Chains A and B, each alone.
Chain A
Amino acid sequence: MTGVRFDIETDRPLIRKESDTRYVLARIVAPEGTARQRPPVNLALVLDRSGSMGGDKIRLAKEAAIAAVRRLEPRDRLAVVFYDDRIDVVVPSAPATRETVRAAVRAIEEVDARGSTDLCGGWLRACEQVGAADASGAVSRVILLTDGLANVGIVDPAQIGRHAAELRQRGVVTSTIGVGDDFDEHLLGGMADEGGGHFYDVARADQIAPIIETEVGETLEVTLRDAWLRVGPASLAAVAPIAPYRTRRDGDDWVIDLGDLVSLQDVAVALRVSFAAPTLFEPAKPAMGLTFVLGGASGRQAEAVVQWRIAPSGEVEAQPRNRAVDRAVAEAYAALARREAGRLNREGEFEAARLRLTRTGARISGYAGDDSFLNDLARKLRDDAAAHAEQLTKRDLKARYAASSYAMYSREPMGAARRAPRRKDTDGT
Chain B
Amino acid sequence: MDRDRAYDLQELCTEAGVTPRTVRYYIQQGLLPAPEPQGPATRYGQGHLDRLRLIRDLQAEHQPLAVIRQRLEELPDKDIRRLVRKLPRSSPSSAVDYVRSVLGAPQLMATESTALYATRPAATPVRAQWERLSIAPDVELHIRRPLTREINRRVEKLLALARQIFEEDRE
CB neighbors of B among A114-134 (8 A): 118, 121, 124-125, 127-128, 130-132
**Chain A window 270-302, contacts with chain B (Cβ cutoff 8 Å), 1 for yes, 0 for no:** 000000000000000000000101000001000
A269 touches B (CB below 8 Å):
no
A154 touches B (CB below 8 Å):
yes
Q: Which of A157, A167, A184, A250 contacts B99 (CB 8 A)?
A: A167
B-binding segment of A169-177, A208-216, A364-372, A380-388: A169-177
- B21, A253: Cβ atoms under 8 Å? yes
> Which residues of chain A are within 8 angstroms of B127 by Cβ–Cβ distance?
152
- A233, B103: Cβ atoms under 8 Å? no
Q: Complex formed: what's the CA distance from A163 to B103 in Å?
A: 11
CB neighbors of B among A149-183 (8 A): 149-159, 163, 166-167, 169-172
- B25, A155: Cβ atoms under 8 Å? no
Q: Which of B94, B100, B129 contacts A118 (CB 8 A)?
A: B129
B96 touches A (CB below 8 Å):
yes
- B25, A252: Cβ atoms under 8 Å? yes
By DSSP majority rule, is chain B's interface helix, strand, loop, or mixed?
A: mixed
CB distance from A319 to the nearest CB of B (A): 28
CB distance from A143 to the nearest CB of B (A): 16
- A86, B107: Cβ atoms under 8 Å? no
> Which residues of chain A are within 8 angstroms of B136 by Cβ–Cβ distance?
103
A88 touches B (CB below 8 Å):
yes
Q: Which of B24, B96, B107, B119 contacts A154 (CB 8 A)?
A: B107
- A251, B22: Cβ atoms under 8 Å? yes
A196 touches B (CB below 8 Å):
no
> Which residues of chain A are within 8 angstroms of B77 by Cβ–Cβ distance?
none
- B134, A250: Cβ atoms under 8 Å? no
> Which residues of chain A are within 8 angstroms of B21 by Cβ–Cβ distance?
232-233, 251-253, 291
B63 touches A (CB below 8 Å):
no
Q: Which of A87, A158, A230 contacts B19 (CB 8 A)?
A: A230
Q: Which of B24, B94, B114, B129 contacts A170 (CB 8 A)?
A: B94
**Chain B window 130-144, contacts with chain A (Cβ cutoff 8 Å), 1 for yes, 0 for no:** 111110110000000
B-binding segment of A89-97, A309-317, A331-339: A89-97
B151 touches A (CB below 8 Å):
no
Q: List the A residue with the shortest CB-CB distance to B156.
A: A132
- A170, B19: Cβ atoms under 8 Å? no
- A251, B102: Cβ atoms under 8 Å? no
Q: Which of A89, A127, A155 contacts B110 (CB 8 A)?
A: A155
B118 touches A (CB below 8 Å):
yes
B42 touches A (CB below 8 Å):
no
CB neighbors of A among B93-150 (8 A): 93-96, 98-100, 102-103, 107-108, 110-111, 113-114, 117-120, 124, 127, 129-134, 136-137
Q: Complex formed: what's the CA distance from A157 to B116 in Å?
A: 10
Contact A154:B108 (CB < 8 A) given known A89-B134, A167-B99, A252-B21:
yes
Task: Supply 20 further A-B pairs (C-beta < 8 A) apart from A167-B95, A170-B95, A232-B19.
Answer: A86-B129, A88-B131, A88-B132, A89-B133, A91-B134, A99-B170, A128-B95, A131-B96, A132-B95, A153-B107, A154-B102, A169-B91, A171-B91, A232-B21, A250-B18, A251-B22, A251-B25, A253-B19, A253-B22, A291-B21
Across the A-B interface, the 6 shortest Cβ-Cβ residue pairs: A131-B95, A251-B22, A252-B25, A170-B95, A128-B99, A156-B114
